[in-house]
Homo-oligomer: A and B are copies of this chain.
Amino acid sequence: MTYCLGILTHQGLVMASDSRSNAGFDQVNVCRKMHTFVHPGERAFAILASGSLSLTQSVIALLRDAFDAGEGLAKAESFYAAARVVGDCIRRVSELDRAALERDGFSFNINLLLGGQVKGERPALSLIYPQGNPLSATHDSPYLQIGEVKYGRPILDRGIVSGTTTLEDAAKYALLSFDATMRSNLTVGPPIEVLLYENDKLEFDRYRRFPADDPELQQIHRQWEQSLRRAVEELPAVEFNSCLP
């Protein structure tokens, strides 16, 4: 399993991913799921990948080859065009591998998050489905998740407000969302990679990789649990009636 999250704020983007790859319970590896494509001052993209590692590696390899040759993400004229470039690569890998996978009962299960900015546009965030079609984050739905999305969702639903939540606070929400997910699903695991992108920077210069024993991450975990318990104690006591159900 995997958990990846993108949050679009009025100040910029947060992109975060876990690093656990597993095939069954006894084949567990550390694997980076965050990939960046940057022409400083002109364009900056980050891609987060969930799904079969073999498939996502193929998509990233195709994107990287094209980018290095000045094609694909290197010359997409808009963020939307970039999302279509990524979708086209997914479709090419689908043509290569889908039939063989499905013949043996495996599904073609790539999901990608693309975040970034092309000079002259606002930053944007999209989810690219296994079929290659993109879905955009919006003012009303400012974050997108892939992988094991349920455990880490309530904290985002409660906290993230478009136009209000700062980029710094969005990073904290991202870490809390990962903390909740890792606690409940063993196949989502550290290190957690977090990338902060400020509007119009057109490069990535704020990044952090949190291993399991990162003291700051552990401090956030402890302080958060204490705050939650105090908040529960401060809630008014619930009144119960004496009538039977």
Residue of B nearest to A149 (CB): B150
Q: Which residues of B contact A184 (CB under 8 A)?
A: 150, 153-154, 157
One of A80-88, A94-102, A171-179 at the interface: A171-179
Q: Are B153 and A207 in contact (CB under 8 A)?
A: no
**Is A237's CB within 8 Å of the partner chain B?**
yes
**Is A129's CB within 8 Å of the partner chain B?**
no
Q: Are A228 and B175 in contact (CB under 8 A)?
A: no
Residue of B nearest to A231 (CB): B227
Q: Which residues of B contact A77 (CB under 8 A)?
A: none
- Interchain Cβ contacts under 8 Å between A and B, 16 examples: A154-B155, A158-B180, A158-B224, A168-B237, A168-B238, A173-B232, A176-B232, A194-B238, A195-B245, A196-B240, A207-B242, A208-B240, A209-B245, A216-B236, A220-B238, A224-B231
Q: Which residues of B contact A239 (CB under 8 A)?
A: 208, 216
For A150-173 the 0/1 string (1 means CB < 8 A from B) is 111111011100000000110111
Bound-state CA distance A219–B154 (Å) is 18
Q: Are A244 and B36 in contact (CB under 8 A)?
A: yes
Bound-state CA distance A158–B18 (Å) is 20
Bound-state CA distance A76–B36 (Å) is 63
Q: In the complex, which residues 202-224 of chain A have their Cβ closer than 8 Å to any Cβ of chain B?
A: 204-209, 216, 219-220, 223-224
**Is A144's CB within 8 Å of the partner chain B?**
no
Contact size class for A? 35 or more
Residue of B nearest to A228 (CB): B158
Residue of B nearest to A170 (CB): B232
Q: Are A236 and B207 in contact (CB under 8 A)?
A: no
Bound-state CA distance A75–B189 (Å) is 48
For A18-34 the 0/1 string (1 means CB < 8 A from B) is 00000000000000001
Q: Which residues of B contact A205 (CB under 8 A)?
A: 242, 244
Q: Which residues of B contact A157 (CB under 8 A)?
A: 180, 183-184
Residue of B nearest to A233 (CB): B169
Residue of B nearest to A203 (CB): B244
Q: Are B240 and A223 in contact (CB under 8 A)?
A: no
Bound-state CA distance A184–B143 (Å) is 14
**Is A243's CB within 8 Å of the partner chain B?**
yes
Q: Are B171 and A206 in contact (CB under 8 A)?
A: no
Q: How far is the CB of A12 from chain B (nearest CB, A)?
A: 12
